[in-house]
Amino acid sequence: MSKLVTIYGGSGFVGRYIARRMANEGWRVRVAVRRPNEAMFVKPYGVVGQVEPILCNIRDDASVAAVMHGADAVVNCVGVLNELGKNEFDSVQAEGAERIARIAAEQGVARMVHISAIGADAASSSEYSRTKAQGEAGVLAHMPDAMVLRPSIIFGTEDQFFNRFAGMTRLGPFLPLVGAETRFQPVYVDDVAKAAVQGVLGQAEAGTYELGGPEVKSFRALMQQMLGVIYRRRVIIGIPFWAARIMAGVLDIVKFVSFQLFPNPILTRDQLKNLRRDNVVSEDAKGFGVLGIEPATLESILPDYLWKFRPSGQYDEIQKSADNLRT
């Protein structure tokens, strides 16, 4: 009988790529999510019955244990960028991660892969970064042979980074940025999935890996590259941190007084703290090199999904080809 992996958050941005690759490896894949009816798109990743979405709430022991029963490996992809309702940083990224690892140890699960983030720091003033570090500690306390992956900003077809800012270019001639000179090392989502699969299959040593792409660029430079891909000219305006702090504070207050009816998807005070720090791989960290993975470049991937933000969409490339023929 084929082996089974339970992927918590397996229908999310990163999880779906891991699920697809594990199905291709011949494993049965259990996709643990809060809303299985919204995760039905994962079923075609394998043959009939190979990939199944199943209800799970990682804040509940019984729920986590039920979807893990019989699994040979588990992957935790659950995380939040913005707290909403009961899905708070502590309950999801710290307690949730620790709960999965504890129950995995109790059930005798052989391997665990945990998706964290570059910048995880128990001493950080950012709740996001602090709880990421606490989640790592909780995982390693129960599953010391776990593989912990710390990616930089992740890009790909479904990302909320380039897609978000490319969408903003439709609104006017300016593109405002907070932390315009902060450096990032964007990593392609499927490269992260490749690393996770190595951990599940036991092809990589246990430990913490920091994953970044081949290019380190400032926020401003990334947006300039994006504008080149979508054939748009926009004035990039760097918003100073003092002004951003006022804006984020007002937005957080509106979120609070509206009882989260306005979830503040724009900018939070916690996100602002992280934008002050470079998001790049540490010099002494294990990474793609150790895993034998050559990460994809931005240039090779961005045009594949950002074309829809061009002024004429897919027709811009057709017009460009026609112009080349005329010359």
Domain CATH number, residue 20 = 3.40.50.720
What is residue 67's DSSP assignment? H
Q: Please report the pLDDT score of residue 93 as a whole number.
A: 97
Question: Is the Cβ–Cβ distance between 284 and 210 less than 8 Å?
Answer: no
> Would 88 be classed as within a structural domain?
yes
Q: Please report the pLDDT score of residue 149 as a whole number.
A: 98
Alpha helices for 258-297 (secondary structure H): 269-275, 288-291
- Residues with Cβ < 8 Å from 36, sequence gap 6 or more? 53, 54, 55
The whole-model pTM stands at 0.95
- Could you report the per-residue pLDDT of 312-321, keeping only the tens digit for each? 887 777 777 6
Q: What is the pLDDT averaged over residues 91-109?
A: 98
Tokens 């059930």: give the residue: 107
Report d(CA 229, CA 226) in Å as an integer.
5
> Would 135 be classed as within a structural domain?
yes
> Would 123 be classed as within a structural domain?
yes
Q: What is the pLDDT averaged over residues 12-34?
A: 98
> Would 193 be classed as within a structural domain?
yes
Coil, helix or strand at residue 60: coil
> Would 171 be classed as within a structural domain?
no
> Would 262 be classed as within a structural domain?
no
Coil, helix or strand at residue 158: coil
**Domain extent for 14:** 4-155+186-212+279-295
> Would 68 be classed as within a structural domain?
yes
- Residues with Cβ < 8 Å from 60, sequence gap 6 or more? none
Task: Give CA torsion, residues 196, 117, 62, 42, to 10 deg.
Answer: -50
Work out the number of other CB atoms within 10 angstroms of the CB of residue 173.
9
- Could you report the per-residue pLDDT of 141-177, keeping only the tens digit for each? 999 999 999 999 999 999 999 999 999 999 999 999 9
Report CA-CA distances (Å) from 242 to 159, 254, 269, 273, 276.
28, 19, 11, 12, 12
> Would 174 be classed as within a structural domain?
no
Total of domains in the chain = 1
